Amino acid sequence: MINESALLESQTLRDGVLERTDVLDRVKALSLLPDGMHVTTAMVAAYFEVAVKTLESVVEDHRKELASNGYQVLTGTPLALFKRASGIQSRSKALALFSRRAVLNVAMLLRDSEVARQVRVYLLDMEYLARTQPVENPASTDTASLDDRIDQRITHILGKTVLPMFNALIETSGEHRKELIALRAGVQRIERRLHQHHTRLQRLEGVRDDRPTVGVMAAMGAMNGRTFEHHIAKLLRRDGCTNVTVQGGHGDRGIDVSGLTAGGRRLVVQCKRFAPYLNITSPDVQKFVGAAKVLHTAEVALFVATCPFTSEALSIAAETGITVVHRGLLEQWSAGEPLEVLE
């Protein structure tokens, strides 16, 4: 198995795993800007728990590589348009932005960050499992599982062989450079779609003992929607709630779990198991307010999500008495920290 330090030295190895941006959230939750796609230099530094100057030094040394993976510096009209679209309030005349892919790229370049080291180790663990997974007899294998393994093998070949080949040809070709770049983009789209399909199959299969996970959030990321609702019900019972019932499904009247708090107050819960790069928006919260307060006359209403909430959604929740359990708080709650509102 390749040592994680090899990623620090080899751009070819780094290029081969850059599609695995999901690893970032399996190691530690990555907060995004309101556009749901980018992070600033300060946010990346906070994620990796390093000084901003340390990160800026990495960018200076590897700017071309990072730029090819989504790093950019906005100025002038593009900056003004981005601020207007994302709601960012800043007087700076330039704004450096990292895509999730660029953040993963940074993880493979930062030497003095424990978080970056964990990302590299997890990346190589996943690659090792993909390479060493045994091939079973198709006659005795479920079709979905067989398709899943085929998808992983094709994705592995595309990432390790085809894309590096295109990269090398583009570097040395002048006459056909544009055509090669277009072909490479097509291959990358196929690779992303296969990875998305693989992720959907994992969710449909639910929690498996042989699926590698890191931390409680990774375990929840492997759950399907129904399993996640039962997990939240289990946490409620752990914290002293009674009459806890999972309601999710057709005819649930806008709630997923109901019960009574330890003090006997009427409790309802909305559960959203979204990808960590998505957001709960104000319409989501407004809809839950109506269900919780009007239809169910709840005294305690929890909106639990595996992703962040927009600032407007948080504001509406605060004004209407909805308790927001965002990704960070959910991780603490699942790890054993009780919710005070349930007392």
pLDDT confidence of residue 131: 52
For residue 259, the model assigns a pLDDT of 92
Q: Note the pLDDT of residue 213.
A: 37
Asked if residue 304 is part of any domain, the answer here is: yes
Regarding whether 145 and 96 lie in a shared domain, the answer is no
Residues 6+ apart with CB under 8 A from 340: none
In a domain, 181, yes or no: yes
pLDDT value, residue 210:
38
Residue 213 lies in a domain: no
- Residue 296 vs residue 7, higher pLDDT: 296
Tell whether 185 is covered by a domain: yes
Average pLDDT rounded to a whole number, residues 231-243? 91
Q: Quote helix, strand, coil % in the chain, to nearest 5.
A: 55, 10, 30
Asked whether residue 104 falls in the same domain as residue 29, the answer is: yes
Most confident of 17-31, 168-182, 300-314: 300-314
Examine the domain organization and report whether 155 and 86 are in the same domain.
no
Domain carrying residue 323 = 224-342
Is residue 174 domain-shared with residue 229, that is, in the same domain? no
What would the pLDDT profile of 26-83 be if each residue is shown by its tens digit?
A: 888 888 887 778 889 999 999 999 999 999 999 999 999 999 999 999 999 888 888 8
Q: Is residue 212 part of a domain?
A: no
As a residue count, the chain comes to: 343
Q: Assign 244 a pLDDT band (cuts: 50, 70, 90).
A: very high
Task: Examine the pLDDT at 206 and tell me if it is beyond 70.
Answer: no
The reported pLDDT for the residue numbered 199 is 59
Residues 101 and 144 in one domain: no
Q: For residue 103, is it within any domain?
A: yes
pLDDT band for 3, please (50, 70, 90 cuts).
low
Confidence of residue 205 (pLDDT cuts 50, 70, 90): very low
CATH number at residue 292: 3.40.1350.10
pLDDT tens-digit readout, 105-147: 999 999 888 888 888 887 776 655 555 444 444 443 444 444 4
Instruction: Tell me, yes or no, whether 63 and 15 share the same domain.
Output: yes
Give how far Cα 155 sits from Cα of 86, 124, 201, Å: 33, 15, 15
**Residue matched to tokens 């948080």:** 314
**Gap between the Cα atoms of 29 and 146, Å rounded:** 31
Asked if residue 199 and residue 163 are part of one domain, the reply reads yes
Convert the pLDDT of each residue in 247-288 to its tens digit: 866 556 779 999 999 888 999 999 998 877 788 999 999 999
301 three-state secondary structure = strand
Domain shared by 2 and 113, yes or no: yes
**Domain-terminating residue out of 69, 96, 131:** 131
Look at 1 and 233; give whichever has higher pLDDT.
Answer: 233
In a shared domain, residues 277 and 330: yes
Pairing of strands 300-305, 266-272: parallel
> For residue 160, is pLDDT > 80?
no
Q: Are residues 127 and 2 in the same domain?
A: yes
Question: Do residue 125 and residue 171 come from a single domain?
Answer: no
Average pLDDT, the chain: 78
Q: Which of 172, 205, 238 is the last residue of a domain?
A: 205
- Percentage above 70 pLDDT, the chain: 72
Is residue 211, in this structure, part of any structural domain at all?
Answer: no
- Give the tokens for residue 159: 């990432």
Global confidence as pTM: 0.41
Phi, psi of 281, deg, nearest 5: -100, 170
Count of structural domains within the chain: 3
Final residue before a domain boundary, out of 96, 131, 166: 131
Note the pLDDT of residue 37.
83
In this prediction, residue 161 carries a pLDDT of 60
Is position 192 within any domain?
yes
297 and 248 both lie in a single domain: yes
